[in-house]
Amino acid sequence: MMTKETTQGIARTTLVFVLVALLNNSGPSLMAQQMPPNPKQKEAILRLKAIIMVDTLNQRARELGLVVATDEEQEEFFRKRLTAQLQEDFVKLGTTNVETVAVQAGSLDYKSLSAATADLKNRATRIKYNVPILMTPAKGEKPRYQENPDQLSSMLPELNRLIDSFFASPIFRENSANDAALRAKAVRDLDSIIVLSDTISKLAKRMSKAVASSK
């Protein structure tokens, strides 16, 4: 028997799927539909998808017994606040392209890059420690990146790749017999995002100070 919360979640998710489909297929011509979405369209689509992602993660956490409800009113209050914050975190994580942020007016903007990657680290960390289904120890060696200025140019596309890999995880859409392995892969991606964004932020901050002192 489905609970009221589950029924509302299904209805909300169905509505979001419809809206995403409309956004993805809107446009005056076939050529326009084939063009990649502009930044505003991408953010609008991802905001809708973030609702699905958070709802799916919460539902899977309840199914796995990772969340136990206590006081209903208090739980609902904190759930709404956390859900809104997580949706915003997912949107920012998915729409920030560090390679684009790094280049301003044709030159590297270390200050903006440092601030943007520090923000990504904070948001990824909040997702990791507030989504029960992702609260699983990562297996294997912890990701490590050297603060080497010569490697900065390769770190930026790597961070974008990790973010794309994390968002492509099937755990946001479905559960399967390989659920544990899928969750572990998503956690590894998230851990790498946290460590790499922190490394880039510290490196860019140091390089920004060096540039300022040389003027």
What single string gives the DSSP state of each residue in 64-115? TT-----SHHHHHHHHHHHHHHHHHHHHHHHH--HHHHHEETTEE-HHHHHH
Q: Does residue 134 share a domain with residue 112?
A: yes
CA distance 215 to 208: 11
pLDDT for position 179? 79
**125 with 54, same domain?**
no
Domain final residue pick, 27, 59, 84: 84
Residues 125 and 61 occupy one common structural domain: no
Q: How confident is the model at residue 144 (pLDDT cuts 50, 70, 90)?
A: confident
Q: Are residues 79 and 105 in the same domain?
A: no
- In three-state secondary structure terms, 43 is helix
3-state secondary structure of 148: coil
Work out the angle between the directed axes of helices 152-167 and 179-213 (0-180°, nearest 10).
Answer: 150
Q: Please, which pLDDT band fits residue 194 given cuts at 50, 70 and 90?
A: very high
The crossing angle, in degrees rounded to 10, of helices 179-213 and 110-130 is 150
Q: Is residue 89 part of a domain?
A: no
Mean of the pLDDT values across residues 3-24? Answer: 44
Contact indicator for 126, 171 with CB cutoff of 8 Å: no
Mean pLDDT over 104-122 rounds to 85
- Domain span including residue 145: 96-215
Which has more pLDDT, 79 or 208? 208
The token duo for 67 is 């969340």
pTM comes to 0.68
Residue 187 has pLDDT above 80, yes or no: yes
Asked if residue 195 belongs to a domain, the reply is: yes
Q: Domain for residue 17, yes or no?
A: yes
DSSP assignment letter at 141: S
- CA separation for the pair 184, 73 (Å, rounded): 33
For residues 124 and 33, membership in a common domain is answered with no
| 71 and 129, same domain (yes or no) | no
- Report how many domains make up the chain: 2
Residues 150 and 195 in one domain: yes
pLDDT surpasses 70 at 65: no
Same domain, 148 and 172: yes
- The reply to whether 56 and 102 lie within a common domain is no
